[in-house]
Amino acid sequence: MRRNARRIRRDGIEPMMILSDDLEFAPIALVTIARGMWRYRSELAPVTAALLTLTSGTILHAAYAVWWPIVLILAALTSWVLAFFGRWVNLTRPAERGYAAATVLLAGGWTAAATAVGPSAVPLPHVLAIGTFVTGLPWWAHRRRRARVRVERTLAAWPEISQAIGLAGSRIQSAVVDLWGYRARVALARGQTVEDVVSKLPALESALGTRRGAARVQPVPERANRMELRVIENDPHADAIAWPGPSVTSITQPVKLGLFEDGSPVRVSLLRRHVLVGGVAGAGKSGGVNVILADLSACPDVVIWGIDLKRGMELLPWASCLDRVATTAQEAQALLRDAVAVLDGRADVLAQQGQRVWQPRPDAPALVILIDEYAELVDEAPEAVRHADSIARRGRAVAVTLVAATQRPSQKAMGQGAVRSQMDVRISFRVRERRDVDLILGQGMFKAGWHSHSLNAPGKFLVSAPEHDIPRRARTFLLTDDAVQCTTGRHASNRPPLDEISTAALEATPTSADEDAPAIACHGHTTASHDAENTLWTALRDAPGEGMSIEDLMRQTGMGRSWVYYRLQEHARSGRVAQVSRGRWRAHPDS
Ligand SMILES: Nc1ncnc2c1ncn2[C@@H]1O[C@H](COP(=O)(O)OP(=O)(O)OP(=O)(O)O)[C@@H](O)[C@H]1O
């Protein structure tokens, strides 16, 4: 030791620690070695296991040499149990079970041989050395083991980490390593809150040595002094997630919007709920609306109307599944006014029948109105906003609801009314400023850890709804143009028309000329309806033998599905038209 210290001085390097001759070197070295061995216990496990095997072989040979067949049988039995029931001891994959079974058989076989002939009998020492190295290789290379050890070492430093970031006294209770990173349950010290931790997230990420934005904190609902710390090392949302197909067959079931970071689905019920979708341009709002549309189009108990003042750019690909689309301010105003008429009509009937809510069924469908870029509506059709306000306040019970997308739902952009405050489901894609989080998700949400300003890819979102009250990052499914085309093709012919109560309410609604510019699809009370009636009749009369489909009739008349359907029903009742085959119609030859 003194020789070492002299060499350091000769090299001109100032020694950092001077050990005096009085100090006992051996205990310090032992403690350091023991600490090192404890720290690297996982890496040293194959060597430890070999030493234990050697010791058992030595003892058994000395005392019970005749027991070797028992040792061999026990080893074979344990190996068999591990191979077939290893799942019970967390050996989830077949490769892991195979490895454990082979290692136990090898170690047990060696111990049996050592018991019989002694551990030093050739070739047993060589077999033990080579066996340790060969079985050690998969152990040292195992990805999950290495990840677990790394996490254990990181979290072992929690007392210092928590001290450094001002959360002294908090403790790690347990940690689980998974495919994407790790999760730890943390017990907070007296008086500390999850909000305190949320405000220290950047410091926590720095102390844990993660990348920026990798740490998430979630409260544990049943205990205010517990939280779950999640560190995402491999972003499960790095790639787009293809839409897997419709997740529902009725609006009474929750739709699947995308996946959370742990791979679980984001399910949200849309029944009797208004939805606000917000986020900067390009953050994925239209993509999110597409997923909602794709699921709703598979539900025969919902009629969908759409308002798209971007000249129909976003909604027109869905036109064949939409009962009605408005692409101008006038059409939007007429559409929302009609929605209020439907709402009133349904409310009157429910009141007469002494019922409280409208139960959606294929013959009494819910009505969902999708509005892309709500702020445009406020700018271009301020009158329409009054109707939207009315729907937002009164539409839930009668299943007439809004899905409104906008970049920044400020009070001005939402038209000063109650629409924003009435939104039950809030979906926030990336926002530019922190205060926009509160605009979309509600007051105080930013402080509570809803950090949608840090979402880093289009399609990533946070959802706040009665069933989602914790900020968990998710990504919507991505629908390609082909998927949209395929979905509309599949569902267009099964879309329901509006029910008779709603249609009667529309028929009874007085129209104002300025609102009734012909919409792409619109019910029977438009100014164009008289011409459409004549066109319909001519089309049915001139139809070929196999009849005309409803889509053909919609195209020719320029009217919506409900209108065509009801006209056909009426003609059929009076015997003027007949259904030639499923969904195909023509005029009766005698009529
Ligand atoms: N879930 C997703 N996964 C992967 N990429 C996505 C996802 N959603 C959207 N994108 C990509 O982001 C782009 C912009 O998305 P989108 O048009 O939905 O944004 P937006 O918020 O509606 O923008 P704007 O307000 O300009 O209409 C899309 O062209 C698409 O390539």
Predicted pLDDT of residue 523: 38
If asked whether residues 579 and 439 sit together in one domain, one would say: no
Token reading at 96: 């892991």
pLDDT per residue as tens digits for the range 482-504: 888 889 888 988 899 899 899 88
Q: Please calculate the CA angle 150-152-155 and round it to the nearest 5 degrees.
A: 110
The verdict on residue 184 lying in a domain is: yes
* Whether residue 306 is found in the same domain as residue 173: no
Residue 510 counted as domain residue? no
Last residue of a domain, one of 168, 203, 232: 232
Residues of each annotated binding site for ATP: 279-286
> 116 and 93, same structural domain?
yes
Q: What is the spatial distance between Cα 448 and Cα 428, in angstroms, rounded to a whole number?
A: 15
Q: What is the CATH number of the domain that holds 203?
A: 3.30.980.40
Report whether 324 contacts 344 (CB < 8 A): no
Write the Ramachandran bin of 430: left for phi over 0, alpha for psi from -120 to 50, otherwise beta.
beta
DSSP 122-169: TTHHHHHHHHHHHHHHHHHH-HHHHHHHHHHHHHHTHHHHHHHTT-TT
Tell me: do 133 and 161 sit in the same domain. no
pLDDT greater at residue 532 or residue 227: 227
What confidence category does residue 562 fall into, taking pLDDT thresholds of 50, 70 and 90? Answer: low
| Partners of 535 in the β-ladder | none
Claim to verify: residue 184 and residue 301 sit in the same structural domain: no
Output the CA 257–ligand 1 centroid distance in Å. 14
Asked whether 282 lines ligand 1 (CB < 6 A), one says: yes
Predicted confidence at residue 561, as pLDDT, reads 66
**Are residue 367 and residue 437 in the same domain, yes or no?**
yes
459 close to ligand 1 (CB < 6 Angstrom): yes
Q: What is the dihedral of CA 31, 32, 36, 37, to 10 degrees?
A: -40
Predicted pLDDT of residue 81? 94
500 found inside a domain: no
Q: What is the mean pLDDT of residues 388-400?
A: 94
Domain assignment present for 518? no
Q: What is the pLDDT of residue 359?
A: 94
User: 375 CB under 6 A from ligand 1?
Assistant: no
114 and 58 part of one domain? yes
* Closest C-alpha to ligand 1, atom 13: 282
Judge if the beta carbon of residue 345 lies within 6 A of ligand 1: no
155 pLDDT tier (thresholds 50, 70, 90)? confident
Residue bearing the CA closest to ligand 1, atom 9: 284
| Structural domain includes residue 509 | no
The whole-number pLDDT of residue 287 equals: 92
Q: Is 287 in the pocket of ligand 1 (CB under 6 A)?
A: yes
- Structure-token pair, residue 504: 């009667």
The answer to whether residues 415 and 535 belong to one domain is: no
Q: Is 108 among the domain residues?
A: yes
Which mutation among 266, 286, 314, 428 tests ligand 1's pocket best, with the greatest number of atoms within 8 A of CB? 286
Binned at pLDDT 50, 70 and 90, residue 196 comes out as confident
Q: How many domains is the chain partitioned into structurally?
A: 5
**Amino acid 420: pLDDT:** 84
Give the whole-number percent of the chain exceeding pLDDT 70. Answer: 90
Render pLDDT for 304-357 as a digit per residue (tens, 0 to 9).
999 988 777 788 888 888 988 888 888 899 999 999 999 999 999 998 888 889
> Is residue 138 over pLDDT 60?
yes
The two counts, helices (H) then strands (E), for the chain are 20, 18
Q: Clarify whether residues 365 and 467 are in a common domain.
A: yes
Q: Which helix (H) or strand (E) holds 121?
A: none
Considering the domain architecture, whether residues 125 and 157 belong to the same structural domain is answered as no
Lowest model confidence (mean pLDDT) among 231-240, 355-364, 433-442: 231-240
Q: What is the mean pLDDT of residues 149-171?
A: 88
**Looking at residue 511, what is its pLDDT?**
56
More confident residue, 262 or 441: 441
Residue 515 pLDDT level (bands cut at 50, 70, 90): very low
Confidence of residue 181 (pLDDT cuts 50, 70, 90): confident
CA of 551 to the centre of ligand 1 (A): 30
- As a whole number, the mean pLDDT across the chain is 85
Domain boundary among 141, 174, 202: 141
pLDDT at 474: 93
Task: Tell me the C-alpha distance between 240 and 356, whole Å.
Answer: 42
Q: Are strands 474-478 and 400-406 parallel, antiparallel or unpaired?
A: unpaired
Residue 568 has pLDDT above 90, yes or no: no
How much is the pLDDT for 232?
Answer: 85
ipTM surpassing 0.90:
yes
pLDDT at 566: 66
Question: Do 151 and 132 fall into the same domain?
Answer: no
Same structural domain, 328 and 421: yes
Query: What is the tens place of the pLDDT at every residue in 233-245?
Result: 877 788 889 999 9
Largest CA distance in the chain: 122
Separation of alpha carbons 250 and 239, rounded Å: 30
Q: Which of 320-324, 424-428, 472-476, 567-571 has the least mean pLDDT?
A: 567-571
Residue range(s) defining the domain that contains residue 24: 1-28
Cα–Cα distance for residue pair 175/147, rounded to 1 Å: 12
Query: Over the stretch 265-302, which tens digit does the pLDDT of each residue have?
Result: 999 999 999 999 999 988 999 999 999 999 999 999 99
Query: How high is the pLDDT of residue 30?
Result: 85
For the stretch 76-119, pLDDT in tens is 999 999 999 988 887 888 898 999 999 999 999 999 999 999 99
Mutation probe of ligand 1 site: the residue of 285, 473, 475 with most atoms within 8 A of C-beta = 285
Considering the domain boundaries, does residue 512 fall inside one? no
Split at pLDDT 50, 70, 90, the class of 528 is very low
Q: Is the pLDDT of residue 246 over 60?
A: yes
What CATH number should be reported for the domain holding residue 284? 3.40.50.300
Judged against a pLDDT cut of 60, whether residue 5 lies above it is answered with no
Domain-embedded: residue 575: yes
